[in-house]
Structure 1
């Protein structure tokens, strides 16, 4: 019993105080910036890390969707983060606001961020149209995602994409999005000069 008690006391002693904080999983964010925001945990025994204090520090980084703390005795605290995935930008008087599929604002800039499509969604981020558009953007094949310049929707069933080539893709709803993505990629190979492709019904694609 004394041994167990001694072990618990040791865990809370300076012998196991945090000397190094390592952030893992950050790609858009600078890990060093996140580590600096958590610097007030340096010197705290690993067993006494206050998760609420860590959470408060990480709230300054809206790009972080989830995180997990991992103690690595004797002196290291690892913070594993999962970043939010942007789906595009909303334009307003404030500039261009980068948002994820849940409508969470990640950053606002005066100029449109490169590689991020402009979102024109009826009803804003709380609408069914936005939810559908977000799901569609996340399911678009990576090479086509990079070519997206615009995403519009007036309802959950009429999502339309615009590519940097001028091509208009009528996607429809988010239903069957993986299949629609595959069909779209094959159609682009067969019809490279198409001005519009309608994959609303992936088994009956309409090329214009």
Structure 2
């Protein structure tokens, strides 16, 4: 007589077979999902990086005063037709920062087709007299613009256009109290240690070098209230009036 398989073994085999089929279905679904995701990513990558759907067609410039939008666009050399995501931002910034008037540049990708160029120009602290022209100097001592006529603001007569000297004068201007700035007609500097502030009423402030600027500035309201024509704060621990 042939022995029949036990019902326990039959049930176990059926369960194993069902589990294997279930796992195969799960693997197939996962594979299908992964494949679909890869297709979507490939399409998105093509649209973003290769197709004309997001290509650069326009350039918009803001923030220009000393420069012009036309000059910025010409210098930037934006490759029109290139997808916005592939615009060489660093190269564009470096070309624009080579312009003396430009302190910083911010690029904006204005989807879908516009590159925005935000220009931040340098700020004049004072004007250096240079013969018949006037050089605009910023806080770092950089000359970034030349004008044939002076504009409102402080003039400076310096023995040199060396950037350290120009920066020291800028630091001096930045330290002066607002009311002293309003009274200042000109600053002269034979050397970096001989900065002299000339007031509109003929009085002079001997500033010396740019060191201890805050302490020197704090002395001025008291000293200028006293009679005298020369107010020496070059050694702020021992100010003098003559």
TMscore range, shorter length: 0.7 to 0.9
**Residue 188 of structure 2 is aligned to residue 152 of structure 1:** yes
Matched residue of 1:86: which SS?
coil
Structure 2 spans left out of the alignment, 5+ residues: 1-37
Q: Which runs of 5+ in 1 are unaligned?
A: none
Question: Larger Cα Rg: Structure 1 or Structure 2?
Answer: 2
- Classify the secondary structure of the residue corresponding to 1:125: coil
Q: Among residues 150, 172, 189, which one is paired with 2:208 in the alignment?
A: 172
After TM superposition, the score normalised by the length of structure 1 is 0.73
Partner of 2:60: 21
1:139 is aligned to 2:178: no
Q: Hey, which of these two has a bigger chunk of helix by percent?
A: 2
Please, which of 48, 59, 73 is the counterpart of residue 11 of structure 1? 48
The residue aligned with 1:206 is: 240
| Alignment TM-score, normalising by the size of structure 2 | 0.64
Say if 1:18 and 1:45, in contact at 8 Å, map to a contact too. Answer: no
Q: Tell me how far apart the structure 1 counterparts of residues 62 and 174 of structure 2 sit (CA, whole Å).
A: 25
- Aligned pair count? 199
Alignment check: 8 A CA contact 1:19 1:43 kept = no
* Partner of residue 90, structure 1: 128
Q: Give the root-mean-square deviation of aligned CA atoms.
A: 3.3
RCO higher in structure (CA 8 A, sep ≥6):
1
Instruction: Say which SS state the counterpart of residue 115 (structure 1) adopts.
Output: coil
CA change 1:36–1:21 in 2 (3 A) is farther
CA contact (8 A) 2:168 2:210 kept: yes
Task: Return the structure number with greater strand share.
Answer: 1
